[in-house]
Amino acid sequence: MKMNKRKINSLYIHIPFCNSICPYCDFTKFLKKTNFEDQYINELIEDIKKTQISFFKFNTIYIGGGTPSCLSNENLEKILIECQKLAKKGTEFTIEANPEDLDDEKLNLFKKYGINRISIGIQSFNTDTLKMLGRKSIDFKSLIKKVKKYIKNINIDLIYGLPNENIEVLKENLKKFVSLNCSHISIYSLTVNPGTIFFNKHIKEIDEDQNRLLYDYICSYLKDHGYDNYEVSNFAKNGKYSKHNINYWKCGNYVGLGAGASGYIDNKRYTNTSNLNKYLEHKDRLSIEEELTKDQQIEEYLMLNLRTKWGLNLEEFNARFGLDLLEVAKDYIQLLINKKLAIINKGSLCLTHDGIAIMDSILLKIFNLINL
Amino acid sequence: MKYDQSKIRSFSIIAHIDHGKSTLADRILELTNTITKREMKDQILDSMDLERERGITIKLNTATFEYNAKDGNTYIFNLIDTPGHVDFTYEVSRSLAACEGAVLVIDSTQGVEAQTLANMYLAVDNDLEIIPVLNKIDLASSMVDVCKKEITDRLGLDGEHAVLVSAKTGENVQEILERIVTDIPAPSGSNDNPLQALIFDSYYDSYRGVVALIKIKEGKIKVGDTIRFMKTNKEFLVTELGIRTPAEIKSDALYCGEVGYLCGQIKDIHDVKVGDTITLSSNPAKEPLPGYRNINPMVFSGVYPTDSRKYEDLKDALEKLSLNDSSLKFEAETSQALGFGFRCGFLGLLHMDVVQERLEREYNLDLIMTAPSVIYKVNLTDGTQISLDNPSKMPDLSTVKSIEEPYVKAEIMTPKEYVGTIMKLCQDKRGIYLDLEYFDDTRMILKYEIPLSEIIFNFFDKLKSCTRGYASLDYELSDYKVSNLAKMDVLLNGEVIDALSSIIYKPFGYNRGVTLVRKLKQVIPRQQFEVPVQAAVNGKVIARADIKSVRKDVLAKCYGGDITRKRKLLEKQKEGKKRMKQIGSVEVPQDAFMSILSLDEDIED
């Protein structure tokens, strides 16, 4: 039987293992156990091979977690060999890594199999904060220097808004980040989700006003240092945007492999089970599969596109859903423009910094106006 | 069941709330095999979900069953359940009018309480034979001797012959049944007299129309008879008769002294008035039975559908509910802020609460209720007087000479160590001291006249909290007095919101205004743009707070695996917003309209 190969933009691969559990993390993850790891990698490789048969090579590949860098070099190599077969020239190939895992051997392995972007979960440069987050403080300056020898395109993940942090801690963190001269930063306010250690310890998120104060500072500081705030929490220098993530925000299709991973193809979203046993034993491996109704597609289109600086292309929106947003939400959009919460730029509705900060209430208002 | 008038016993169980009335009813039904153990749910006569959940009886209910007494005879018992809360005194008096006797239940760990007295007086008013029962004797804290003395000294009943029971374990409950046989008289009246049947309750059934619960005081009634309602003068053909065990059992006729139900294809609920007398068209009684004391609602509130398209549904629901709950009054009104709705009259706050919950649950409505108000009498400069049940309808000040408000006579029974605290509370609530007397060695009865509006305004909660739950309250309307009152308006974004207006005692105005705007600031969520909330008395702004604008609500992370969850979160928020009322540009949650009620002085800014 001849398979018809599909052209899909992006591939996401989930590695659900970590050396330690971070108190704020609500992703699918397990403490690393070697026997499970081997079995998991074997399963994953089966899935990657099936993907090779069913799909053309991808424009972006992203290995996330968990902590992909905590895998043994043997297992990493096994996966990377197969992943490389799904990459082509120009594919953005990202892996997530923990700072303490990054030795020359591993970095060399990454480079060897075509990884050209690395996302390092540093979270904070502040010793007290790192302690609270249960993470090690290391010499980040020499680490980044070392990484750059192998991979130039580096993202650093930071967290702000921990309960005992003041704005000085944030300023110091941003200053350190800028001094490292990396191309990209994702900086998130701490969210305390059910199921996390922080949630169980009743750690509270900072209040809305304080959060906004810090967010304003971040955006203006990074802008002053040449970083382009192209999405709510993402900033890039010299156009080094994350193509993989932009695909999500443009409602593009993607394949998701591994426990807890999601994929989205032809308006259908599926999520693999986050139960490791079920995943390994092929029992109810698909935990959710839903075909989005038109209304749901519209909701997602709005809530994702408006996150970015490119905003929502009105003509494209109209062509896709047969809805003239400028017409149905005319007065409200005019109000947003008057209040400097939005602008129309090259046929796209874009939220300003002030608008992005309060995007949820703007979305709900628009949903209401277009009767969703 | 074989009819023998001399073997019929009709009785109610009356008690202070929580003294174990419904549990005792359960045991009696069990003991007489009316309900088998298998069918037994706790508190079987409390058939509304709401009653079971809250552990209170709201609506009266009836059960007819047989009892084989020790004298060798079989008796027919009619048990008519009653509510215990002060709000539902009217329901109690309705039940009692259909009885010859009453079982007065007293919690032997608590003793006589305010409602015990009030309910006993109602029973005495109805010439009922009263059997005192001391309940909860299985508990270590039971004080049987003290309670017996109270019954003798305070109630004027024979305390020594009180029946000692535990409704929970069933201990000695049989003794109550024997006492019902020996102490309570059979119904009087004769099958040969013209029919007089008292309607003591009614409800609507979509198949059979109105179902009336009746007690045959004189004469008899058969299926096929043409009957007349003496008050409304409407005539109907009897299509169905029967008794409730509590399950309905049809019968061809009901005879003098029996308690049962009647259907007559009565489609218009207005034709049946609880308290009316049914007679036969062919041989009518000369006059109706004495009706009930016509009870007037004491508190009024605006009831509006959250979704204005549900107005007709609300109207329908209120009509059906008022058939079953004759103390509920309503008439259409319009609010600028809330649209079309109804001004409803209730017996008290619990009644209001219960009606709201029944409308929402049984009729699947989503409601906004405005803060309750009493009826004020407004004396105008032209010498006329108007009744005002909606604060926003207050006439222009220049035409108002004076305003009168209703007072109640409140009796508070309390352990004596709380007397000082309660007196302070009553004074804070503008109470006028009437009397203080010893009830027994440890307890006192405080009598005050207090404005009803203050009773509504968290008096009961305060009383309970400042006496650790030991004080009990009973009250009845006394009269109207001129007070120093004014209307307080609330402005959102500079516009008066009629549904938030209230009448206040002027010297309290500033404090109430400040706490109200702070409270509203708390309950109204942040809006997209800042909104000022102001309180104004007689058109003059006295307090202001600003509802903040949303500052940050965007989700920090939204990648492939987050999207579904995020969309669902937004969909949920979207549904939440539908439950809010859009007033101008402001989204106001339902409970904001009730916030006037829950003002505590310690709200933080």
Give the position of tokens 């993940």.
A157
Q: What pLDDT, on a 0 to 100 scale, did the predictor assign at position A48?
A: 96
Could you check whether B299-369 and B392-483 share the same CATH topology?
yes
pLDDT digits (tens, 9 = 90+) for A292-306: 999 999 999 999 999
**Can you name the CATH fold of B196-280?**
Elongation Factor Tu (Ef-tu); domain 3 (2.40.30)
B336-to-A252, B341, B498, B499, B581 alpha-carbon distances in Å: 47, 11, 7, 8, 12
Question: Is A188 in Cβ contact with B557 (below 8 Å)?
Answer: yes
Q: Which of A372, A357, A293 is nearest to A325 (CA)?
A: A372
> With contact defined as beta carbons under 8 Å apart, do B163 and B133 qualify?
yes
Give the position of tokens 């009836």.
B62
Q: What pLDDT, on a 0 to 100 scale, did the predictor assign at position B603?
A: 44
Which of A249, A290, A358 comes nearest B554 by C-beta?
A358
Q: Please state the rounded mean pLDDT for residues A159-178.
A: 94
Q: Please state the rounded mean pLDDT for residues B189-215.
A: 89
Q: What residue of B is the nearest CA neighbor of A161?
A: B556
Say how far apart CA A56 and CA A9 lie, in whole Å: 9
In chain B the first and final C-alpha atoms are separated, in Å, by 68
Residues of A in contact with B553 (CB under 8 A): 208, 357-361
Assess whether pLDDT exceeds 90 at residue A26.
no
A360, A362, A367, A368, best to mutate vs chain B, most B CBs in 10 Å: A360
Classify B288 as helix, strand or coil: coil
Question: Is A304 in Cβ contact with B563 (below 8 Å)?
Answer: yes
For A323, phi then psi, to 5°, come to: -135, 125
Q: What residue of B is the nearest CA neighbor of A291?
A: B564
Q: What pLDDT, on a 0 to 100 scale, did the predictor assign at position B594?
A: 81
B531, B550, B552, B570, best to mutate vs chain A, most A CBs in 10 Å: B552
Residues of B in contact with A287 (CB under 8 A): none
Say how far apart CA A165 and CA A178 lie, in whole Å: 20
Tell me the residue type at B274: V
Say how far apart CA B393 and CA B34 lie, in whole Å: 53
Question: Is A262 in Cβ contact with B554 (below 8 Å)?
Answer: no
B140 to chain A, any CB pair closer than 8 A? The answer is no
B554 to chain A, any CB pair closer than 8 A? The answer is yes
pLDDT digits (tens, 9 = 90+) for B388-435: 999 999 998 899 999 999 999 999 988 899 999 999 999 999 999 999
Residues of B in contact with A264 (CB under 8 A): 560, 563
Give the model's confidence band at B291: pLDDT under 50 very low, under 70 low, under 90 confident, else very high: low
Averaged pLDDT of chain B: 87
Closest CA of chain B from A254, distance in Å? 8
A-B contacts (CB, under 8 Å): 101
Which of A212, A356, A364 comes nearest B551 by C-beta?
A212
Question: Is B559 in Cβ contact with A360 (below 8 Å)?
Answer: no
Contacts of B508 (CB under 8 A, 6+ apart): none
Residues of A in contact with B559 (CB under 8 A): 245, 248
Contacts of B537 (CB under 8 A, 6+ apart): B486, B487, B488, B489, B504, B506, B509, B513
Point out the least confidently predicted range of A259-273, B149-163, B228-242.
B149-163
SS (H, E, C) B538-602: CCEEEEEEEECECCCCCCCCCCCCCHHHHHHHHHHHHHHHHCCEEECCEEECHHHHHCCCCCCCC
Q: Please state the rounded mean pLDDT for residues B534-550.
A: 94
Q: What pLDDT, on a 0 to 100 scale, did the predictor assign at position B40?
A: 55
Q: What pLDDT, on a 0 to 100 scale, did the predictor assign at position A3?
A: 61
Q: What pLDDT, on a 0 to 100 scale, did the predictor assign at position A102?
A: 96
- Sign for the CA dihedral angle at A40, A46, A51, A57 comes to positive
Q: Of the ranges A220-234, B136-150, B198-212, which is most confident? A: A220-234
Which of A215, A299, A356 comes nearest B570 by C-beta?
A299
Question: Is A264 in Cβ contact with B553 (below 8 Å)?
Answer: no
* Residue extents of the structural domains in chain A: 10-248, 294-372
B565 to chain A, any CB pair closer than 8 A? The answer is no
Q: What pLDDT, on a 0 to 100 scale, did the predictor assign at position B7?
A: 95
Closest CA of chain B from A346, distance in Å? 24
Residues of A in contact with B556 (CB under 8 A): 188-189, 191, 232-233
Say how far apart CA B378 and CA B384 lie, in whole Å: 8
Question: Is B557 in Cβ contact with A361 (below 8 Å)?
Answer: no
Question: Is B556 in Cβ contact with A304 (below 8 Å)?
Answer: no
Assess whether pLDDT exceeds 70 at residue B292.
no
pLDDT digits (tens, 9 = 90+) for A105-161: 999 999 999 999 999 999 999 999 999 888 889 999 999 999 999 999 999 999 999
Residues of B in contact with A211 (CB under 8 A): 551-552
Which of B526, B554, B564 comes nearest A357 by C-beta?
B554
**Can you name the CATH fold of B5-183?**
Rossmann fold (3.40.50)
Q: What angle do CA B372, B535, B307 make, to 5 degrees?
A: 50
Q: What pLDDT, on a 0 to 100 scale, did the predictor assign at position B460?
A: 82
The first and second tokens of residue A228, run together, are: 């382009």
Question: Is A271 in Cβ contact with B561 (below 8 Å)?
Answer: yes
B563 to chain A, any CB pair closer than 8 A? The answer is yes
Complex ipTM over 0.90:
yes
Question: Is A360 in Cβ contact with B560 (below 8 Å)?
Answer: no
Question: Is B560 in Cβ contact with A211 (below 8 Å)?
Answer: no
Give the model's confidence band at B585: pLDDT under 50 very low, under 70 low, under 90 confident, else very high: confident
Closest CA of chain B from A369, distance in Å? 12
pLDDT digits (tens, 9 = 90+) for A311-321: 999 999 999 99
Residues of B in contact with A260 (CB under 8 A): 561
Q: What pLDDT, on a 0 to 100 scale, did the predictor assign at position B604?
A: 43
What percentage of chain B exceeds 90 in pLDDT? 56
Q: Please state the rounded mean pLDDT for residues B20-37.
A: 80
Q: What pLDDT, on a 0 to 100 scale, did the predictor assign at position B298?
A: 83
Question: Is B566 in Cβ contact with A248 (below 8 Å)?
Answer: no
Assess whether pLDDT exceeds 60 at residue B332.
yes
DSSP string computed for A34-83: HHHHHHHHHHHHHHHHHHHHHBPPEEEEEEEES-GGGS-HHHHHHHHHHH
Question: Is B529 in Cβ contact with A339 (below 8 Å)?
Answer: yes
SS (H, E, C) B370-422: CCCECCEEEEECCCCEEEECCHHHCCCHHHEEEEEEEEEEEEEEEEHHHHHHH
- Tell me the residues of chain B between 3 and 32 that have a Cβ less than 8 Å away from chain A: none
H or E segment at A304?
helix A294-305
Q: Please state the rounded mean pLDDT for residues B345-366.
A: 86
B584 to chain A, any CB pair closer than 8 A? The answer is no
Q: Which of B117, B83, B77, B75 is nearest to B100 (CA)?
A: B77
* Choice between A1 and B378, residue whose per-residue pLDDT is larger: B378
Closest CA of chain A from B579, distance in Å? 13
Give the model's confidence band at B267: pLDDT under 50 very low, under 70 low, under 90 confident, else very high: confident
Which of B550, B558, B574 comes nearest A367 by C-beta?
B574
Give the model's confidence band at B570: pLDDT under 50 very low, under 70 low, under 90 confident, else very high: very high
Question: Domain A294-372 classified CATH 1.10.10?
Answer: yes
Closest CA of chain A from B518, distance in Å? 19
Assess whether pLDDT exceeds 90 at residue A253.
yes
Right CATH number for B299-369 from 3.30.450.40, 3.40.50.150, 3.30.70.870, 3.40.50.261?
A: 3.30.70.870
Point out the least confidently predicted range of A265-279, B67-81, B136-150, B315-329.
B315-329
Q: Please state the rounded mean pLDDT for residues B539-552.
A: 94
Question: Is A358 in Cβ contact with B551 (below 8 Å)?
Answer: yes
Q: Are strands B400-415 and B432-438 parallel, antiparallel or unpaired?
A: unpaired
Assess whether pLDDT exceeds 70 at residue B49.
no
Give the position of tokens 């006993």.
B120
B249 to chain A, any CB pair closer than 8 A? The answer is no
Q: What residue of B is the nearest CA neighbor of A159?
A: B556
pLDDT digits (tens, 9 = 90+) for A203-218: 999 999 999 999 999 9
B530, B559, B579, B580, best to mutate vs chain A, most A CBs in 10 Å: B559
Assess whether pLDDT exceeds 60 at residue A185.
yes
* Residue extents of the structural domains in chain B: 5-183, 196-280, 299-369, 392-483, 488-594
Say how far apart CA B65 and CA B45 lie, in whole Å: 13
* Choice between B43 and B272, residue whose per-residue pLDDT is larger: B272
Give the model's confidence band at A31: pLDDT under 50 very low, under 70 low, under 90 confident, else very high: confident
Assess whether pLDDT exceeds 80 at residue B537.
yes
pLDDT digits (tens, 9 = 90+) for A255-280: 999 999 999 999 999 999 999 999 99
Question: Is B561 in Cβ contact with A256 (below 8 Å)?
Answer: yes
Question: Is B573 in Cβ contact with A212 (below 8 Å)?
Answer: no
Question: Is A249 in Cβ contact with B563 (below 8 Å)?
Answer: no
Which of B550, B561, B573 comes nearest A261 by C-beta?
B561
Assess whether pLDDT exceeds 60 at residue B37.
no
**Can you name the CATH fold of A10-248?**
TIM Barrel (3.20.20)
- Tell me the residues of chain B between 511 and 550 that have a Cβ less than 8 Å away from chain A: 526, 528-529, 548-550
The first and second tokens of residue B384, run together, are: 């006329």
Assess whether pLDDT exceeds 50 at residue A183.
yes
Q: Which of B49, B51, B74 is nearest to B64 (CA)?
A: B74
Q: What pLDDT, on a 0 to 100 scale, did the predictor assign at position A236?
A: 98
Structural class in CATH, domain B488-594: alpha beta
H or E segment at B456?
helix B452-456
Residues of B in contact with A254 (CB under 8 A): 560
Rg of chain A in Å (alpha carbons): 21
* Architecture label for domain B392-483: 2-Layer Sandwich (3.30)
Q: Please state the rounded mean pLDDT for residues B252-263.
A: 95
Q: Strand B62-68: give its sheet, edge to edge.
A: B62-68, B74-80, B8-15, B101-107, B129-135, B163-164
Question: Is B529 in Cβ contact with A358 (below 8 Å)?
Answer: no
B553 to chain A, any CB pair closer than 8 A? The answer is yes
Question: Is A233 in Cβ contact with B552 (below 8 Å)?
Answer: no
